[in-house]
C-alpha cells in the first residue's frame, strides 16, 4: 500500500528522473571512450602541420605550457621619424563635418542693450542653438545670459562689416544659415527655423523683405534690416574678401543698405523675398497698434514684426503669437483624432476598439 502511494507521488517526476539517469550514463560512456583513445588529437594535428614528431613532442609541449610567461613589450618611437599627434574632436558631428542649421545675430546699441535686446533674448533665445548680440559700444557689459560682442565703433557700415567678419571667422564653418536682425524686431522663431530647414544650403541666397534703392533699377534691391534677413553660408564665404573694399567705397547711414549695395556691387546678388516656393513674410506694425486686435492674414503668417518700440510690446507680441501656435497645435490634434475615427471603420472592433486618453 505504501509502495503504491509512493509510486503515485513519484509518477509526475519519473520522466525527469529517467532523463537525468540517461544523460549521466551517456556522459560517463563518452568520458571513458575519450580516455581510451591514443594520443591527443590536438598534438597529432600539430604534428601533421609541422612534420613528423618524436615521441617526446607531447612532453615538450606540456613543459612549454608550464614555462610560458607573458612579456611586456615597451613602446618605442623612432626619434628620426616625424611624430604627428592625432586630435579627436569633442563631438562626432564635428568630425563628420556636420553643421548647425541657423545662427542669429542681433544688432543692438548702447541705448537698447538693456531693454529691447533683453526682451529679444527672453522671447527667442531658447529656440536657436546660438544667439549673438553685436554693438558698437566699447566695453559693453553683457546682461545675464547674453553673449555680447563689442566692436568699439558705432558707425553703421563699420558695425555691419565687423559683424560679418566675426561671423565668418568664428562660425563660418559651423552653421549653414545666418539670420541678421535688429533688436527692435520681433521674430516668430519656430517659423524662421522651419524656413531655414526647407531651403537648400548649396546656393548664394540673400532672403528677406526686398526694398528698392532710391534711383536704382528694379533688380537692385536690398533686404530691410528691420524685418531681418537670411544669408547663406556660401554667400558669406564669397563676401568676406570684399568687406574691406566695400567699407571704403560705399557710404551709407544704414547698415542694411550698405550690405545690400556691397552684395550687388561685388557679387551681383540682390535681395529676394521668395525662393524655392518659400515666401519670407513680414508685417509692419503701426504705431500704438494693439497686437491683440491684429487679425489680418499678413500679421498671422508673419515671420517678423517691425518696429517694436519697447520691451513691453515685444512681450505682448510673443504672447499673441504663442497663443496662435497653441491654437494651431490643438487644431492639428483634432484633425488627427478625426482621421483616426475614420480609420476605425476598417478595423474589426470599429469605434468600440478606440483606446487612449479620453478615447479620442
Stretch 149-176: mean pLDDT: 92
Q: What is the phi/psi pair of residue 107, to 5°? A: -90, 120
| pLDDT at residue number 44 | 47
Percent of the chain at pLDDT above 70?
A: 78
Confidence at residue 41, expressed as pLDDT on a 0 to 100 scale: 46
More confident residue, 347 or 281: 281
Domain chopping of the chain, boundaries: 90-317
Report the C-alpha gap between 360 and 350 in whole angstroms. Answer: 13
Class of domain 90-317: alpha beta
Element at 51 (helix H, strand E): none
Query: In angstroms, rounded to a whole number, what is the distance separating the alpha carbons of residues 278 and 199?
Result: 8
Average pLDDT over residues 77-92: 64
Question: What pLDDT score does 334 carry?
Answer: 93
CB-based contacts of 121: which residues, under 8 Å, 6+ apart?
A: 131, 133, 143, 145, 146
**pLDDT at residue 45 is higher than 70:** no
Least confident segment among 33-47, 61-75, 246-260: 33-47
- Grid coordinates standing for 168? 565668418
Rounded to the nearest 5°, which phi and psi values hold at 230? Answer: -100, 135
At 71, the pLDDT band (50, 70, 90 cuts) reads confident
Alpha-carbon gap, residue 64 to 71, rounded angstroms: 15
8 A C-beta contact, residue 187 and residue 228: yes
Average pLDDT, the chain: 82
More confident residue, 48 or 207: 207
Tens digit of pLDDT for each residue in 2-36? 667 766 777 777 777 888 888 888 887 776 666 55
Residue-wise pLDDT for 340-354, tens only, equals: 888 877 777 766 666
pLDDT bin (cut points 50, 70, 90) of residue 281 is: very high
Confidence of residue 50 (pLDDT cuts 50, 70, 90): very low
Residue 127 three-state SS: helix
| 301 pLDDT above the threshold of 90 | yes
pLDDT above 60 for 60: no
pLDDT band (50, 70, 90) for residue 231: very high
Q: How much is the average pLDDT of 70-80?
A: 75
**Mean pLDDT on 319-334:** 93
- Give the mean model confidence (pLDDT) for residues 174-183: 95
Q: Which of 319, 286, 313, 281 is nearest to 300 (CA)?
A: 281
Amino acid at each position: 500500500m505504501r509502495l503504491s502511494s509512493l509510486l503515485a507521488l513519484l509518477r509526475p517526476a519519473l520522466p525527469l528522473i529517467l532523463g537525468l539517469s540517461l544523460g549521466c550514463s551517456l556522459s560517463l560512456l563518452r568520458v571513458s571512450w575519450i580516455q581510451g583513445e591514443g594520443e591527443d588529437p590536438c598534438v597529432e594535428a600539430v604534428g601533421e602541420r609541422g612534420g613528423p614528431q618524436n615521441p617526446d613532442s607531447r612532453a615538450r609541449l606540456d613543459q612549454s605550457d608550464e614555462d610560458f610567461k607573458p612579456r611586456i613589450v615597451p613602446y618605442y618611437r623612432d626619434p628620426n621619424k616625424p611624430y604627428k599627434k592625432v586630435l579627436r574632436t569633442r563631438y562626432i558631428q564635428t568630425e563628420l563635418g556636420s553643421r548647425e542649421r541657423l545662427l542669429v545675430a542681433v544688432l543692438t546699441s548702447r541705448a537698447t542693450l538693456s531693454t529691447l535686446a533683453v526682451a529679444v533674448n527672453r522671447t527667442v533665445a531658447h529656440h536657436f542653438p546660438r544667439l549673438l548680440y553685436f554693438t558698437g559700444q566699447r566695453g559693453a557689459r553683457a546682461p545675464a545670459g547674453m553673449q555680447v560682442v563689442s566692436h568699439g565703433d558705432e558707425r553703421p557700415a563699420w558695425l555691419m562689416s565687423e559683424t560679418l567678419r566675426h561671423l565668418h571667422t568664428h562660425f563660418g564653418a559651423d552653421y549653414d544659415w545666418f539670420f541678421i536682425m535688429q533688436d527692435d524686431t520681433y521674430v516668430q522663431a519656430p517659423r524662421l527655423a522651419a524656413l531655414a530647414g526647407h531651403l537648400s544650403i548649396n546656393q548664394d541666397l540673400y532672403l528677406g523683405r526686398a526694398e528698392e534703392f532710391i534711383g536704382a533699377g528694379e533688380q537692385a534691391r536690398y533686404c530691410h534690416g528691420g524685418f531681418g534677413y537670411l544669408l547663406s553660408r556660401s554667400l558669406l564665404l564669397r563676401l568676406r574678401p570684399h568687406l574691406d573694399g566695400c567699407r571704403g567705397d560705399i557710404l551709407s547711414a544704414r547698415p542694411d543698405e550698405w550690405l545690400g549695395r556691397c552684395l550687388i556691387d561685388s557679387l551681383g546678388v540682390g535681395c529676394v523675398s521668395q525662393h524655392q516656393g518659400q515666401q519670407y513674410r513680414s508685417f509692419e506694425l503701426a504705431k500704438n497698434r494693439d497686437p491683440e486686435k491684429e487679425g489680418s492674414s499678413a500679421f498671422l503668417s508673419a515671420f517678423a514684426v517691425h518696429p517694436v518700440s519697447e520691451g513691453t510690446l515685444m512681450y505682448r507680441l510673443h504672447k499673441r503669437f504663442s497663443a496662435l501656435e497653441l491654437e494651431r497645435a490643438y487644431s492639428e490634434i483634432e484633425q488627427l483624432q478625426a482621421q483616426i475615427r475614420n480609420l476605425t471603420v476598417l478595423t474589426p472592433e470599429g469605434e468600440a476598439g478606440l483606446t487612449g486618453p479620453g478615447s479620442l
